[in-house]
């Protein structure tokens, strides 16, 4: 697997090395020893979720409060998604920074989202399916929702028609409103949950 740290400190893009023959291909989606060496902390799966979306569905931006905190390893297992991670850690030197990646079943590319970082995606195909491997189980009342169309974040979703949004996401606060309300995790809280390296770059888009 090839690991590349994103513009959001502590978030990684993971691309597998495929073995291909006449039957198809094989690849390792996650290998604990290499993965944990790269992220600098243990990652123990506690829950796995799937969501299936119509084309132009927009889900996010979502995070989980600390405690309990929740890291995510997300993979597109069918179709194509435009995936975005956003630094929502108050006091982070890159607060508001984002990175966008195309996740598709063909490449097997995955994104690791650390605690305190927001995540969302736009489905670019019908019947797109994403898999979330989570470091903690769902605790009602701990999810943090940020409006994916927050004008200050100005996330490059790339849709041409109005996206399909849940009522909850459409009514979610902006990042600034959530920070003012004290519902976002702090940089210090996120650091306490694992290694968060310091970075100076703020935004990058990749294929």
Q: For residue range 63-103, list pLDDT tens digits in order.
A: 999 999 999 999 999 999 999 999 999 999 999 999 999 99
pLDDT of 196 > 70? The answer is no
Residue tagged active-site, from 50, 132, 138, 193: 132
CATH number assigned to the domain with residue range 2-195, chosen from the 4 options 3.30.9.10, 2.40.50.140, 3.30.1490.20, 2.60.120.10: 2.60.120.10
Residue tagged active-site, from 62, 98, 112, 119: 62
Q: For residue range 137-173, list pLDDT tens digits in order.
A: 999 999 999 999 999 999 999 999 999 999 999 999 9
Percent over 70 (pLDDT), the chain: 93
Per-residue three-class SS string for the chain: CEEEECCCCCCEEEECCCEEECCEEECCCCCHHHHHHHHCCCCCCCEEEEEEECCCEEEEEEEECCCCCCCEEEEEEECEEEEEEEECCECCCCCCCEEEEEEECCCCCEEEECCCEEEEEEECCCCEEEEEEECCCCCCCCEEECCCCCCCCCCCCCCCCCCECCHHHHCCCCHHHHHHCCCCCEHHHHHHCCCCCCCCCCEEECC
Is 193 part of the annotated catalytic residue set?
no
pLDDT of 193 > 90? The answer is no
Is 62 part of the annotated catalytic residue set?
yes
């Amino acid at each position: 697997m090839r690991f590349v740290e994103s513009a959001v400190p502590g978030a990684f893009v993971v691309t597998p090395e495929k073995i291909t023959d006449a039957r198809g291909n094989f690849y390792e989606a996650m290998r604990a020893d290499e993965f944990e060496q790269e992220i600098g902390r243990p990652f123990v799966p506690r829950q796995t979720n799937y969501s299936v979306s119509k084309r132009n569905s927009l889900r996010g931006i979502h995070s989980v409060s600390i405690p309990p905190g929740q890291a995510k390893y997300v993979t597109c297992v069918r179709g194509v998604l435009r995936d975005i991670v956003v630094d929502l850690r108050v006091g982070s030197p890159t607060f508001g920074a984002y990175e966008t990646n195309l996740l598709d079943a063909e490449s097997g590319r995955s994104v690791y989202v650390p605690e305190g970082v927001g995540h969302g995606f736009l489905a670019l195909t019908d019947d797109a399916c994403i898999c979330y491997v989570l470091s903690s189980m769902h605790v009602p009342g701990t999810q943090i929702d940020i409006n994916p169309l927050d004008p200050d974040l100005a996330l490059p979703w790339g849709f041409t028609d109005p996206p399909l949004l849940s009522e909850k996401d459409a009514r979610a606060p902006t990042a600034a409103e959530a920070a003012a309300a004290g519902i976002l995790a702090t940089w210090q809280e996120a650091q306490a949950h694992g290694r968060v390296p310091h970075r100076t770059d703020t935004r990058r888009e990749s294929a």
